[in-house]
Structure 1
Amino acid sequence: MTGRAVKTVAAVDLGAESGRVIAASFDGNRLTMEIANRFANTPRVQGGALRWNIEDLWARIGEGLAGLAGGSRPVSSVGVDTWGVDYGLLDSGGMLLDAPISYRDDRNAASFALALQTVGAKRLYAATGVQVLAINTVFGLMADVRDDPTRLARARTLLMMPDVFHHRLSGARTAEYTGVSTTGAFDMAGNRWATELLDELGVPTHMLPEIVPPGTDIGALVPDLAVGSLRDARVIVPPGHDTASAVVGVPLTDPGGLYISSGTWSLVGLETSSPVVTAQSQRSNLTNEGGYANTIRLLRNVMGLWILQECRRQWQREGTDISYPDLAEMASKVQGLVSIVNPDDPAFLAPGDMPARVRQYCVDHGLPVPQTIPEVVRCVVDSLALSYRAVVDYLVDATGERPPSVNIVGGGADNVLLSQLTADATGLPVSCGPTEGTALGNGAVQLATLGEFDGLADIRQAVAASTMMRRYEPRTGGGWDEAQAVFRRLVAADQRTDPTPPDNPRDRT
């Protein structure tokens, strides 16, 4: 549209490994993005727990916004997406009681076991429709009650991580729907807080805030930040859970297509119009999480590229620094499907010497042990592809329909080896892109609220027009059927030694 004014918004996207502040613009035809600041996310141990470095993240966000404020292009709004599950507690003055605890801290294990004993996995799933996992918010709240009975009493407001930042940006104390949907404390079918379940678990509910849908304008940017090009900016909450924003940014090539939001975690699922809460979906441990425009994300979480990221960090500590593309290229040259692990085994959840854990897993399960760096990488990537294939089977069992194709968004879309192996493992064509799908979806929802898009389909049409997609066709043979049988035996064996519900470990980006 020649002559149309370009509208720009600030999309703040915080992932488990890194964050970014991005200027997302729309000229009537194409969406473009410009990075204002990119920074590491570095949790730290404090007060005996692994906590998010909230003040450092806030400072880095401020640097990015200051850069945009100093530019010549007006910025119409700001919105934040982050990982799910974690939360902050505000006192009566609006200050955090303490730094939010990371889902990778092990404090939830005891309260998770207590919840299973108290109400059982079926009750937890039926009340919420989400995967019954130790890292869910509800078990962190139970741990709060156990560890410091006065802590929740002192809290006036519980905010999920995106809304902690939205509070600092605007002063509002509201909770965005998609973030809340990750808690295991929200009734997806009833569209409300699961207060009866929380009462049964001994969790107080006085601090639960009002829930608003993604795309809500919650107010003006606070005066300290509303300067320069941000002078008139509003705070518009995008889908606060990063995966929900990423799914908005998926230019689905086929109706009913499967999406994989691939980053630190891989979220593999379908978009549905209503929650699927059945005995079959529970057996498959599928989760129902909120999406944009009254959609539901029926999905499972797979450990994702976290294992590879931790492997690379360990190799860097040992003096070997190899880029992710080079690691994938090296792994492509070694034989595949030799060593296999279950990426969702709890052994892989915490930070640490991940190559040693991969090898130990293989030793413990009587499998060939990968020795070299390329062999470890190939083991991890093969295992992720097998996990994706397993989720496809679970979704088919739950819905009765097989997806026609796969769309991968996020940083994992650039992993050529994983993308091709995903096509080979699932037998489905795979389309990859955009890499910054989360920030793109975040910005697009803000732009829709500002009148630039007419709904989700219009957003996706613009995303498709703005993205260079890469496509991978499945190759026949390769031993995937035999490897999948081995993979399923590993999962079954891990379930027998893990007291958690079937196929437990996971979370979000």
Structure 2
Amino acid sequence: MRQYYLAVDIGASSGRHILGCLSEGKLEIEEIYRFENGMKKEDGHLCWDVEHLFQEVKNGLKCCREKGKIPVSMAIDTWAVDYVLMDQQGERIDPVYAYRDGRTTGMDEIVEACIDPEQLYRHTGIQKQIFNTIYQLMADKESKTGRLERAETMLMIPDYLSYLLTGVKMTEYTNATTTQLVNPLTKDWDWSLIEKLGYKKSLFGNITMAGTKIGVLKPEIAEQVGFQTQVIQPATHDTASAVMAVPATGEDFLYLSSGTWSLLGTERREADCSRESQKANMTNEGGYEYRFRYLKNIMGLWMIQSVRHEWNDRWSFAELCEMAEKNTDFPSRVDVNDPVFLAPESMIQAVLQYCEKTGQRVPETEGEISAVIYQSLSDCYERTIKEMEELTGKEYDALYVVGGGSNATYLNRLTAEKTKKTVYSGPSEATAIGNLVAQMIHSGECSSLENARKMIYDSFDIKEYRR
């Protein structure tokens, strides 16, 4: 009899419930529920509606019952850095701010008055990004709302959703590292750093590794959804789950988790907290079994997603790729990591204004705008790979592209041409698959991450783009 596992994979724009099971040594997946997500304006700030997310998690669980496919376990992953504050009674302190909100402006200066940036990098190995949890907490501390004074516990978004299901508070390692408050040597909170910043130590719970059992559904939740099941910690940071699904053999490989963000990097056993690594703005985020995801965060497909929405979703992403390819000779480029593209009122205007300000030809058509974005992304990938090879002292032959961007044929072809690497693309549902793999290893149905990656390669259509 087949054993089903349920991955609840929630991104910044949508969430999905994906069932997985092994059949004749291959992983079969089935999407059973999908829902919308998005940031909402609340008193002038961008926030998350976590009540909506929790209701949708339960709605998807009910679909398992309706289909008669009851999972032996389930696990939730989401994006990184955002968190929920809870008071002494365990009640949520609203609002739950989103990382694209502008409240962290200037918070880096306050943090750097407490600890020198170079020293901060040595403590954590995490790339400076103004939306990191370290700066969000400082925004809470500096605000006049008293949120941080009232808070007794901090849980990252997926940990909070699992808490609502089980009543158990746990903090998972891979997402905890994105706070820029975890020490890569101890694999625990950097208590000396937390003390310097004046954050309450009680906020930070014990850190556990992906694959740990959290508990089972609370009786009232089990009654609502129609069954009982175990709740497991996956690699709760969606990128960490996606990297688990990279269908590579051996330890020396490059990956690109391509979605709203592009995360380009390699997997290492030790963090690189050197000055050279810091100058290159690399990060050492936590991975499964205390591996390190040595990578750079790149703006990613957020830009093409945004302009597509401004065009009222008139074209599919495949059609935008085709339009861009017809304009592949359009010469203008943008720095995709420029802060102006983080959360502009209009992404189209941001692209046009950047080209105008930098003295380049301003794109006029949808195809030209798409070409600028895709070409600029592939240029950034090329530069980042060169930096990665210089920093690691290794030359890589292949780049594995996983996530939704693995379907962007034009971008994958451009990347292969510019980087001179063989590009392997797929699977597109890498995050959910990595989530499922963590559960399968926990149950003993899969023996190790290495075996899981081979199974993934054999189970899905992996396309190849030659340099």
TM range (shorter): over 0.9
1:293–1:455 CA contact under 8 A, matched in 2 = no
Matched ranges for 1:60-459 at <5 A? 60-148=56-144, 150-227=146-223, 231-252=227-248, 255-316=251-312, 321-336=314-329, 338-459=331-452
Measured after TM superposition, the shift of residue 253 of structure 1 is: 5.2
Measured after TM superposition, the shift of residue 72 of structure 1 is: 2.0
2:241–2:434 CA contact under 8 A, matched in 1 = yes
TM-score of the pair, normalised by structure 1 = 0.89
Alignment partner of 2:118: what SS? helix
Q: Kindly provide the amino acid, as one letter, of the partner of residue 398 in structure 2.
A: S
1:254–1:404 CA contact under 8 A, matched in 2 = no
After superposition, what is the alpha-carbon deviation per residue over 1:113-161, rounded to whole angstroms, capped at 9, x for unaligned?
2222332210211111100121110111111110036322211211011
Q: Which of 153-162 and 233-242 deviates more? A: 153-162
Alignment partner of 1:34: what SS? strand
Measured after TM superposition, the shift of residue 45 of structure 1 is: 1.1
Measured after TM superposition, the shift of residue 76 of structure 1 is: 0.6
TM-score of the pair, normalised by structure 2 = 0.97
Q: Which of 279-288 and 200-209 deviates more? A: 200-209
For residues 119 and 273 of structure 2, the distance between their equivalents in structure 1, rounded to whole angstroms, comes to 12
1:76–1:230 CA contact under 8 A, matched in 2 = no
Alignment partner of 2:378: what SS? helix
Measured after TM superposition, the shift of residue 188 of structure 1 is: 1.5
After superposition, what is the alpha-carbon deviation per residue over 1:310-357, rounded to whole angstroms, capped at 9, x for unaligned?
1111111xxx71111111111111133611000000000004211111
Measured after TM superposition, the shift of residue 293 of structure 1 is: 2.1
Q: Kindly provide the amino acid, as one letter, of the partner of residue 156 in structure 1.
A: E
After superposition, what is the alpha-carbon deviation per residue over 1:263-298, rounded to whole angstroms, capped at 9, x for unaligned?
000000000111111111111111001111231100
Measured after TM superposition, the shift of residue 62 of structure 1 is: 1.3
Alignment partner of 1:219: what SS? strand
Alignment partner of 2:220: what SS? coil
Measured after TM superposition, the shift of residue 305 of structure 1 is: 0.2
Measured after TM superposition, the shift of residue 464 of structure 1 is: 0.9
Alignment partner of 2:297: what SS? strand
Q: Kindly provide the amino acid, as one letter, of the partner of residue 437 in structure 1.
A: A
Measured after TM superposition, the shift of residue 231 of structure 1 is: 2.9
1:28–1:452 CA contact under 8 A, matched in 2 = no
Q: Which of 109-118 and 176-185 deviates more? A: 109-118
1:88–1:159 CA contact under 8 A, matched in 2 = yes
1:337–1:382 CA contact under 8 A, matched in 2 = no
Q: Which of 156-165 and 145-154 deviates more? A: 145-154
Task: Note the residue ranges of structure 1 that are not aligned, 5 or more in a row.
Answer: 475-509
Alignment partner of 2:318: what SS? helix
1:72–1:229 CA contact under 8 A, matched in 2 = no
2:251–2:267 CA contact under 8 A, matched in 1 = no
1:336–1:382 CA contact under 8 A, matched in 2 = no
For residues 464 and 224 of structure 2, the distance between their equivalents in structure 1, rounded to whole angstroms, comes to 42
Measured after TM superposition, the shift of residue 243 of structure 1 is: 0.2
For residues 114 and 216 of structure 1, the distance between their equivalents in structure 2, rounded to whole angstroms, comes to 36
For residues 397 and 316 of structure 2, the distance between their equivalents in structure 1, rounded to whole angstroms, comes to 33
For residues 253 and 236 of structure 1, the distance between their equivalents in structure 2, rounded to whole angstroms, comes to 26
Q: Which of 456-465 and 199-208 deviates more? A: 199-208
Q: Kindly provide the amino acid, as one letter, of the partner of residue 129 in structure 2.
A: L
2:22 alignment partner in structure 1: 26
1:124–1:132 CA contact under 8 A, matched in 2 = no
Q: Kindly provide the amino acid, as one letter, of the partner of residue 71 in structure 1.
A: K
For residues 220 and 395 of structure 2, the distance between their equivalents in structure 1, rounded to whole angstroms, comes to 51
Q: Kindly provide the amino acid, as one letter, of the partner of residue 185 in structure 2.
A: A
2:40 alignment partner in structure 1: 44
1:253–1:405 CA contact under 8 A, matched in 2 = no
For residues 193 and 293 of structure 1, the distance between their equivalents in structure 2, rounded to whole angstroms, comes to 17
Q: How well do the aligned residues superpose, as a CA RMSD in angstroms?
A: 1.5
